[in-house]
Structure 1
Amino acid sequence: MTQLVCPEFDEFEAALYGVQGRYVLRSRPQRDWRLKLIDLSGVAIMMGREGASTAYSGIGMPDCFNIFIPLSAQECTIVDGQAFDAQTVGWMAPDRMFHIIAERAASWVTVAISAPLVMHWVHTHADEFDATLLSNNLVCTGRRGVIALLTTIWRIVRVERDDPAQLRYPGAELAARTELVDLVFRAVLTIDEGAASIRQKPRHRQILSRALDLLNLMGETPIFVNDLCAAAEASERSVRNVFHRYLGMGPHRYLALYRMHAIRAALCNAAPGDTVSGICGRFGVWDFGRFAALYSAHFGVLPSQTLRARRASARA
Structure 2
Amino acid sequence: MPSLTFPDFEAYSNAVNGIDGEMRVTGRSDAAWVLSTLEIGDIGVLHGMDGASVTYRGALHAARFGVYLSLPGSDTELEGEQVGDDGYIWMAPRQEMQGFTRVPARFLGVDLAEARVLGQAVRMGLDTQALYRTTHVRSNPQAVAEVVALTQRAFDVHAENPEAFAEPAAQQAFAAQITTAVLQCRPLPVCPSLAASRRGRPPLPRKEIVRRGIDHIQRSLRGEVPFSDIPFAVGASQRSLNRAFGDAFGMAPRQFYVVERLHAIRSALRSARPGDTVTGICARFGVWDLGRMAALYSRLFNILPAQELSRALAAQAGVPVVARRR
Match of residue 158 from structure 2: 160
Q: Which residue of 1 aligns with 2:62?
A: 62
1:104 and 2:99 equivalent? no
User: Aligned partners of 2:132, 2:179: CA distance in 1, in Å?
Assistant: 18
Letter in 1 for 2:161: D
Aligned to 2:173: 175
Match of 1:93 in 2: 92
SS at match of 1:144: helix
CA–CA distance in 1 between the matches of 2:53 and 2:152? 25
Q: CA deviation at 1:187?
A: 2.3
Between the aligned partners of 1:26 and 1:175, the Cα distance in structure 2 is 40
Which amino acid is the alignment partner of residue 161 of structure 1?
A: A
Counterpart in 1 of 2:116?
117
Matches of 1:72 and 1:55 in 2, distance apart? 19
- The alignment's C-alpha RMSD in Å is 1.8
Does the CA contact (< 8 Å) of 2:83 and 2:89 recur in 1? Answer: no
- Contact 2:68–2:110 (CA<8 Å) still a contact in 1? yes
Aligned-residue offset at 1:50:
0.4
| Displacement after TM superposition at 1:176 (Å) | 1.2
Structure 2, unmatched stretches of 5+, are 190-326
> Based on CA coordinates, which of the two structures has the bigger radius of gyration?
2
SS in structure 1 opposite 2:157? helix
Q: Match for residue 77 of structure 2?
A: 78
Q: Deviations over 1:204-245 (max 9, x none)?
A: xxxxxxxxxxxxxxxxxxxxxxxxxxxxxxxxxxxxxxxxxx
* Conservation of the 8 A alpha-carbon contact between 1:18 and 1:60: yes
Query: Which amino acid in structure 1 is aligned with residue 134 of structure 2?
Result: N
Residue 17 of structure 1 contacts residue 112 of structure 1 at CA under 8 Å; is this kept in 2? no
- In structure 2, relative to structure 1, the CA distance for the partners of 1:93 and 1:2 (3 Å cut) is farther
Query: What is the deviation of 1:138?
Result: 0.9
Match of 1:135 in 2: 132
* Displacement of 1:120: 1.7
Deviations 1:139-160 (CA, angstroms, capped at 9, x unpaired): 1222331111112222211110
2:65 touches 2:114 (CA, 8 Å); kept in 1? yes
Q: Structure 1: 5+ residue runs without aligned partners?
A: 192-316
* TM-aligned CA deviation for residue 190 of structure 1: 7.7
| Matching of residues 199-218 of structure 1 within 5 Å | none
Identity of aligned residues (%): 20
Residue in structure 2 matching 1:151, options 129, 149, 152: 149
Q: Which amino acid aligns with 2:8?
A: E
Higher normalized contact order (CA 8 Å, seq sep 6+, divided by chain length): 1
- 2: CA distance, partners of 1:19 / 1:189: 26
- Give the CA deviation at 1:116: 1.5
**How big is each residue's C-alpha offset from its partner over 1:67-100, in whole Å with a ceiling of 9 and x where there is no partner?**
11001334x2111111233323110000100012
Task: Give the deviation of 1:14 after TM superposition.
Answer: 0.6
Q: How much has 1:123 moved relative to structure 2? A: 2.9
3-state SS of the aligned residue for 1:188? coil
Are 2:55 and 2:99, in contact at CA under 8 Å, matched by a contact in 1? yes
Residues 193-272 of structure 1: pairs in structure 2 closer than 5 A: none
Aligned to 2:33: 33
1:173 aligned partner, one-letter code: Q
Cα contact 1:149–1:184 (8 A) shared by 2: yes
CA contact (8 A) 1:145 1:188 kept: no
Q: Say which SS state the counterpart of residue 168 (structure 1) adopts.
A: coil
Alpha-carbon distance in structure 1 between the residues aligned to 2:84 and 2:60: 23
Residue 142 of structure 2 aligns to a residue whose secondary structure is coil
Q: C-alpha distance in 2, partners of 1:26/1:138?
A: 24
Q: Using the alignment, how far apart are the partners of 1:167 and 1:159 within structure 2? A: 9
**How many residue pairs are counted as aligned between the two chains?**
188
Conserved 8 A contact 1:144-1:190: no
Q: Summarize the Cα distance change of 1:32–1:138 in structure 2 as closer, same or farther, 3 Å threshold.
A: same
Q: Is the 8 A contact 2:87 2:144 kept in 1?
A: no
76-85 vs 90-99, which deviates more? Answer: 76-85
CA distance in 1: counterparts of 2:71 and 2:17, whole angstroms: 18
- 1:190/1:116 Cα in 2 relative to 1: closer, same or farther (>3 Å)? closer
Assess, with a 3 A threshold, how the Cα gap between structure 1 residues 146 and 190 changes in structure 2: closer, same or farther: farther
**In 2, Cα distance between the equivalents of 1:56 and 1:164?**
32
- State the shift of 1:132 in Å: 4.2
Shift in alpha-carbon separation, 1:10–1:103, aligned structure 2, 3 A: same
Q: TM-score, normalised by structure 2?
A: 0.55
Query: Structure 1: how far apart are the matches of 2:188 and 2:3?
Result: 32
- Give, as a single letter, the amino acid of the residue that structure 2 aligns with 1:122: A
